[in-house]
Amino acid sequence: MGAAQSFRELCDRTKNTNVRLSLPAVCIVWQTAMIILFGVFIRYNEESDTHWVEYRKENNLSDIQNDFYFRYPSFQDVHVMIFVGFGFLMTFLQRYSFGAVGFNFLIAAFGLQWALLMQGWFHSLDYTDGKIKIGVENLINADFCVAGCLIAYGAVLGKVSPVQLLVLTLFGITLFAVEEYIILDLIHAKDAGGSMVIHTFGGYYGLSISWMLYRPNLDQSNRLQSSVYHSDVFAMIGTLFLWMFWPSFNSAITDHGDGQHRAAINTYLALASTVLTTVAVSSLFQKHGKLDMVHIQNSTLAGGVAVGTAAEFMLMPYGSLIVGFCCGIISTLGYIFLTPFMEKYLKIQDTCGIHNLHAMPGVIGGIVGAITAAAATESVYGAEGLRNTFDFEGEFADRSTSKQGGHQAAGLCVAICFGVGGGILVGFILRLPIWGDPADDNCFNDEPYWEMPYILRIFPAEIQQYKSIQTYKIFI
């Protein structure tokens, strides 16, 4: 215990948030590494290469059958979710909007490059020439991979430095690619919208890191850990773009044709249902029945998370509504009861409540997926439909749906293990006293990392002249 304590003391020395050397160094070195690795490994695939015209003729295809036209609109929607959705969702704090949207931007831009490599090695490696061949589906998957890390960012929002976030992202992407390979390829679980692979993993990864970085004196930053009126409106931009484009998220990499179509419908319905139960619970547990913006901003999205795994299955429209119904309730109750409990007793400080928005709904999504898969029958799906939907081909041709259900459950366990284990490991690294994170009384504050324009001039209305302006500093 002596060693652990001295390590802790080492970490708690007076904080120095100057990242003038570390941040530029990490950005330049890592970006240079990306260029070299891309030079060695990454090429266009047959649909984005100039040889497409020959490929197309050989396979008797029309230009419109290029995968680009199947997936690009969904890709752009996902892209908006990653940068505007996640970025603005986190602007709710009164004085951390620059960090929310700016660091989200930074780590997503790095993460997608590293994800193209990591996922490429596992999924898109052309063994004839050792190159990763990329097309629009790889871009979507890279954005997905990044989403896992942005979820984790939500747990530590306002308490870490940008360098720590880049480290969190580097390891997060790496872990993601490995767990994804195990779950989707080895276990052959299906996870269209990533309830397990993205949300469960990302959620527990972030919570474990937050647990490792527990700050007993965080109440010293209490004055800043709340919203102002307009920061809540900004956050609603994030909420709505996530909510609206979630059908694209869950359908982006599903099967051409009915697969994408059905995944979009299921997600659309689940999300609609979630809004009503979120409002109900939020109003029910507040004095005078007033709604809490935190719930509206976050819990309304839980249905999209929970329907992720089963989105492509024949979940049925009413099934989607049921999933959304439950998740709205559970997620809002989580914000009311579980988040304070976790902070007080489990020492997990979860700034954005990702446990309620991603981790729990992700687990529910995994379970729903397992049950729906196990219950799938040829009479509902049709023989060919069943084979297509679950990819019962090649070595998996003989798998039964009940066995598939078990494998789905196994996939969920892998996601949780990678999240918790990886988070503890990375949290340990992030405790090193070299990363420039803020002191306990200076969290949730843009000031340490951003040039701040915070002076407003206020003067009494009766005085029309500019001369008598009183200058105030104002937190807005």
Site for a copy of itself in 4-63 (CB under 8 A): 17-21, 23-25, 27-28, 30-32, 34-36, 38-39, 42-44, 47-54, 56, 62-63
Q: Using DSSP, state whether 126 is helix, strand or coil.
A: strand
Residue from 15, 89, 90, 112 in contact with a copy of itself (CB under 8 A): 112
Give the burial string for 34-51 (b: 16+ CB within 10 Å, else e): beebbeebbeebbbbeee
Residues in the chain: 476
Task: Please state whether beta strands 131-134 and 125-126 pair in parallel, antiparallel, or not at all (unpaired).
Answer: antiparallel
Contact between residue 233 and residue 83 where contact means Cβ atoms under 8 Å apart: no
Strand partners, 21: none
* Cα distance between residue 238 and residue 228, in whole Å: 16
Beta-carbon neighbour count of residue 79 at 10 Å? 18
230 or 347, CB closer to a copy of itself? 230
Binder among 277, 351, 372, 408 for a copy of itself (CB under 8 A):
277
In the region spanning residues 169 to 188, those forming contacts with a copy of itself, defined by CB under 8 A, are none
What is the footprint of a copy of itself within residues 198-227 (CB under 8 A)? 223, 226-227
To the nearest whole angstrom, how small is the minimum distance from the Cβ of residue 453 to a copy of itself?
Answer: 5
Which parts of 371-390 interact with a copy of itself (CB under 8 A)?
380-382, 384-386, 388-389
392 binds a copy of itself (CB under 8 A): no
Nearest approach, Cβ of residue 3 and a copy of itself (Å): 32
Rounded least distance, CB 234 to a copy of itself, Å: 6
Residue closer to a copy of itself (CB basis): 91 or 208: 91
Contact mark string toward a copy of itself, 136..175, x via CB under 8 A: x--x----------------------x-------------
User: Which residues does 27 contact at the CB level (< 8 Å), separation at least 6?
Assistant: 110, 166
Shortest distance, position 359 Cβ to a copy of itself, whole Å = 24
- Decide if 416 contacts 360 (C-beta within 8 A): no
What does residue 134 show for φ and ψ, rounded to 5 degrees?
-110, 150
Structure tokens belonging to residue 101: 């949207």
Nearer to a copy of itself, 177 or 414 (CB): 177
| Alpha carbons within 13 A on the beta-carbon side of 462 | 0
Which residue in the set 11, 178, 240, 424 belongs to the binding site for a copy of itself (CB under 8 A)? 240
Query: By CB under 8 A, is residue 340 in contact with a copy of itself?
Result: no
Instruction: Give the number of C-alpha atoms closer than 13 A to the C-alpha of residue 427, restricted to the C-beta side.
Output: 25
Binding residue for a copy of itself (CB under 8 A) from 2, 14, 128, 288? 288
